[in-house]
Amino acid sequence: MTGPLEGIKVIEVASWMFIPSGGSVLVDWGAEVLKVEPMVGGDPQRGLITSGLIPGGAAAVNFMIEQPNRGKQSLAIDLRKSEGREALLKLCETADVFLTNYLPQVRRKLGIDVDDIRERNPDIIIARGSGQGPKGPDAEAGGYDGASFWARGGVWTGADSQANGFPQSQLGPAFGDVMGGLATAGAIAAALLKRERTGETSIVDVSLLATAMWQVSPMVVAAGVYGMESFPSSDRTSPPNPGVNSYRTSDDRFISFILLQSDKFWAEFADCIECPILKEDPRFADAALRRENTVECTRILDETFAAHPLDHWRERLADFSGVWSPFQTLGELHNDVQALANGYLPSFSGPEDKEVRLVASPAQFDEVAIEVTRAPEHGEHTELALVDAGMSWEEVAELKAIGAIL
């Protein structure tokens, strides 16, 4: 099966995770993505392998490069040289999309801003990622997801725990980046459709700040309407609905229940967990009464689930028609039957033929799972890509001789 973006060529001048992760989604959808990297070191995320931040040392799999760059081609070009800039513009002449997260002042200095690219290809779609958006006093300020998404965008307000009085830090690396990348890929697909239907090209902008505000949009709206400054904190021992809560098992695992229409599931729930008092006691007869007696109802549920380990509850709840899930570890996702059945963890053969699993982008087309290949080595495809763009081997050799390409 070919992807829906088969035949689309993307030139990516970007680093770290935010915009490159959007490029990886385009690869998953069938596009050809040429990643243009600096001559020295390439994408700075490559350096994580020697900085001590990637476990296993220099021979390990740099998962922070593999996940957002799988299946791309890598070109090492010195854009500070006029010859290198010309090589990039030559690539853009036959491309459909120019994708970047370079700051506006850097794009201007290098001569690769909108007008420069459009002069060589008026039909190319320009897609830009930024910290705070293309307008306003902070348009040219840098941004990472820990600052622009998590902190400035208010996502931190949804985290209950605080360490030593400080807000909780972001929940893992690239937490906001990958959401922004997904939004960028979707916007590019829409711009390609618009160009096909109308002949008009677009400038696409996605920022980490906008992504964050979308992520917590119900509460942002509530803040404006009701003056709420953060997510309301809740005491799990007295929830409005004891059927929407988390419970601890005897082996210190946790189960989440989302019984929003609790009356629909309550009798079955009580039977599954062998707790008849939940359906026999008049205090728990319906959702309104359970809300009035939520502390006692929750206490009974706490004691019930604390009496047995998670495996017991997996068996008891196997046929329960309500929505529930154990809190899984990251390692358990590698054995999740649904993740495996749907191909959410495609793999490629890494160093020493070791299987390396990556995470597929969420969308599938025609029920076909995503396939992945490794991320490119720094500058691996420079010469062939430039020849494919119309340069002669002699011209490529000259660029190499003067240090404009690797």
Sheet holding 244-248, edge to edge: 244-248, 254-258, 324-326
Q: Is the pLDDT of residue 395 over 60?
A: yes
pLDDT, average across residues 238-243: 94
pLDDT band per the 50, 70, 90 thresholds, residue 68: very high
What pLDDT score does 162 carry? 65
Flag whether pLDDT at 165 surpasses 70.
Answer: yes
Contacts of 34 (CB under 8 A, 6+ apart): 9, 10, 11, 12, 72, 73, 75, 91, 95, 381, 385
**DSSP secondary structure code for residue 148 in this structure:** I
Q: Average pLDDT of 391-399?
A: 94
pLDDT grade for 54, boundaries at 50, 70 and 90: low
- Per-residue pLDDT of 263-280, as tens digits, reads 999 999 999 999 999 999
Question: Over 60: is that where the pLDDT of 288 sits?
Answer: yes
- Average pLDDT, integer, range 40-57: 73
- Indicate the pTM of the whole model: 0.89
Residue whose tokens read 């990637």: 54
Q: List, in order of start, the domains of the chain with CATH numbers.
A: 9-217+342-401 (3.40.50.10540), 244-327 (3.30.1540.10)
